[in-house]
Amino acid sequence: MLSERLTSYSELTEQKLGELLSESENAPILQESMAYSVFSGGKRIRPALCLAACELCGGTPQDALLAACALEMIHTYSLIHDDLPAMDNDDMRRGKPSNHKAFGEANAILAGDGLLSLAFYALSLCPHPDALTVISKGAFEMVMGQSLDVNSGGDESLLRKLQDYKTGALFRAAVGAGAACAGASLEQREALTRFADAYGMLFQITDDILDFEGEASVLGKSVGKDAEEGKTTFVTIYGLDGAKEFAKQYAREAREAVLSVGGDAAFFAELISYTLTRKS
Amino acid sequence: MLSERLTSYSELTEQKLGELLSESENAPILQESMAYSVFSGGKRIRPALCLAACELCGGTPQDALLAACALEMIHTYSLIHDDLPAMDNDDMRRGKPSNHKAFGEANAILAGDGLLSLAFYALSLCPHPDALTVISKGAFEMVMGQSLDVNSGGDESLLRKLQDYKTGALFRAAVGAGAACAGASLEQREALTRFADAYGMLFQITDDILDFEGEASVLGKSVGKDAEEGKTTFVTIYGLDGAKEFAKQYAREAREAVLSVGGDAAFFAELISYTLTRKS
């Protein structure tokens, strides 16, 4: 059920993404490098949230499709830049060489810059101006979160703020843009923002748990890579059980918030359960 | 006269840029690194063109101020990313250490990403949707130009297209956004686009001439650094005299185009003369 709905949102998004990327046909290597990362098997959770929020507030997925594509391009650009040697220095992403490994650093920087620019070009085609407001805010907050992460030196007191910016901001933008494209009421928007705040925390905490468990099982140790690298995560602060408890609590908050929007929130409820128990 | 008008546009722009950058106060190093490059003595030609185009088409500078700030932030982000080691690897910019030399590569990448995102946040506050259309298109074309430059291997046949994207696109965006914020007619917009096409070429050719003459005089040689590095420029293709002739021709085209808009085009005429004879 989740996968059916997610697949249908994903197909819609991918078709439109393909059209938008063809804007770069005069710069073939830019086009190739952007497409390489955009079409690399992402789960398209942000566009799905945008399209689902639009439907929940009475619109059609088509109403929010440009906003959904903008969100996925912004998410993808952030992954490309995060993987750069000067940032996380990751050679692999989603099971294949990261963008800079495949195209070189200069082209990876430009692929990111291009996707961020193209995202706003897509939004210029979207007739709902509030979608631009929430998405540009989310894109900027994401960079703030990344900057805090790069410069925080593992300061525990910054973790929540930092993760709220890094992960939460784009989820807020996703549901906010979907709501804007449906002409949602203020109450609906506020409920969706509460959902996104809680879902963002759930997503980040389960990510930290996965990282910890994955690394611990590979290494056969009782601590994961993050802890060994001195990286502050929800698991390093609250322990594995504490983090799992937090995840459940945020799942509850997210569920309550989205139910208060009214309408058929089945997709959201299933996405929350899926995220709480996810294995990747 | 030019400097008076340019100074007044520049002061207006800088005050608003300061306000916009304060959006990043929760990420102090991001704010500092963005401000470092934004307030580093740029001539503010793109915002000035935007504000002047708005006035020429019957608006006030205030009408186009958010668009002008967006253009300057986009221009600045492009300089920060161009200077990165993987790109042009420039240690100095406007007489001081480039952003990555001052803040490190990770922060420089984020300063660029932040400025590009904040530019579109500024545009979300601008009530003229066409400004977003032309500026997002310009921002994307600029990345295409940069990609062609990085990957062209000095292919002469690509030079004009490449420079049109790299330099012309943002000038087109500047006058196009200014015109949009004034509610200009289609004829006015088309004339301003012709101006920007010609002015962009004039700007790029005089840039190539300056590079050539600067390097040649420093090195006491008959060729500049670009030629020695195998970089294709208008000077390496057409020679110094040929390039100067082209510059004059584009100055004439730019002047004719802007006069056809109607109204007081004195600022534009002086900017063209200034650019044709500029020493920096």
Query: Among A250-254, A274-278, B157-161, B238-242, whose mean pLDDT is lowest?
Result: B157-161
Model pLDDT for residues A258-269, shown as the tens digit of each residue: 999 999 999 999
For residue A114, which of A194, A26, A179, A47 has the smallest C-alpha distance? A26
Residue A56: predicted pLDDT: 98
pTM listed for this prediction: 0.96
- The complex's ipTM works out to 0.95
- Return the higher-pLDDT residue of B152 and A62: A62
Q: How many CA atoms lie within 13 A of B199 on its CB side?
A: 29
Residue A227: predicted pLDDT: 58
Q: Contact A87/A150 with Cβ under 8 angstroms?
A: yes
Amino acid present at B213:
E
* Record: contact B140-A24, CB cut-off 8 A: yes
- Collect all residues with Cβ–Cβ distance below 8 Å to A89 and sequence separation of at least 6: A83
Minimal C-alpha gap between A266 and chain B (Å): 32
Model pLDDT for residues A142-191, shown as the tens digit of each residue: 999 999 999 988 788 888 899 999 999 999 999 999 999 999 999 999 99
What is the C-alpha separation between A72 and A79, in angstroms, rounded?
A: 11
The two tokens of residue B172 are 């087109």
Residue A221: predicted pLDDT: 55
* Record: contact B116-A116, CB cut-off 8 A: yes
Q: What pLDDT band is residue A272 in, cutting at 50, 70 and 90? A: very high
Considering only CB atoms, B143 lies closest to which of A114, A140, A145, namely A114
Residue B216: predicted pLDDT: 67
Supply the DSSP symbol for A93.
E
The alpha helices in chain A, defined as continuous H runs, are 2-21, 28-38, 45-56, 65-83, 99-103, 105-124, 129-151, 159-163, 169-181, 186-219, 225-228, 234-259, 266-276
* Chain A residues in contact with B110 (beta carbon < 8 A): 143, 146-147, 150
Model pLDDT for residues A41-54, shown as the tens digit of each residue: 999 999 999 999 99
What is the C-alpha separation between A57 and A60, in angstroms, rounded?
A: 9
Helix (H, G, I), strand (E, B) or coil at B96: strand
Closest-CA residue in chain B for A162? Answer: B27
In tens digits, what is the pLDDT along chain B, a chain of 280 residues?
Answer: 568 999 999 999 999 999 999 999 999 999 999 999 999 999 999 999 999 999 999 999 999 999 999 999 999 999 999 999 999 999 999 999 999 999 999 999 999 999 999 999 999 999 999 999 999 999 999 999 999 999 988 788 888 899 999 999 999 999 999 999 999 999 999 999 999 999 999 999 999 999 998 876 665 555 555 655 668 899 999 999 999 999 999 999 999 999 999 999 999 999 999 999 988 8
* Chain B residues in contact with A77 (beta carbon < 8 A): 113
Helix (H, G, I), strand (E, B) or coil at B4: helix
* Record: contact A104-B114, CB cut-off 8 A: no
Mutate to test the interface with A, among B33, B120, B128, B151 (most CBs of A within 10 A): B120
Q: What is the mean pLDDT of residues A125-129?
A: 96
* Record: contact B147-A30, CB cut-off 8 A: yes
Amino acid present at A64:
A
* Chain B residues in contact with A158 (beta carbon < 8 A): none
Cα torsion through A253, A255, A260, A262, rounded to 10: 170
In chain B, what are the domains? 2-274 (1.10.600.10)
For residue A140, which of B124, B118, B120, B72 has the smallest C-alpha distance? B118
Examine the pLDDT at A110 and tell me if it is beyond 80.
yes
* Record: contact B116-A117, CB cut-off 8 A: yes
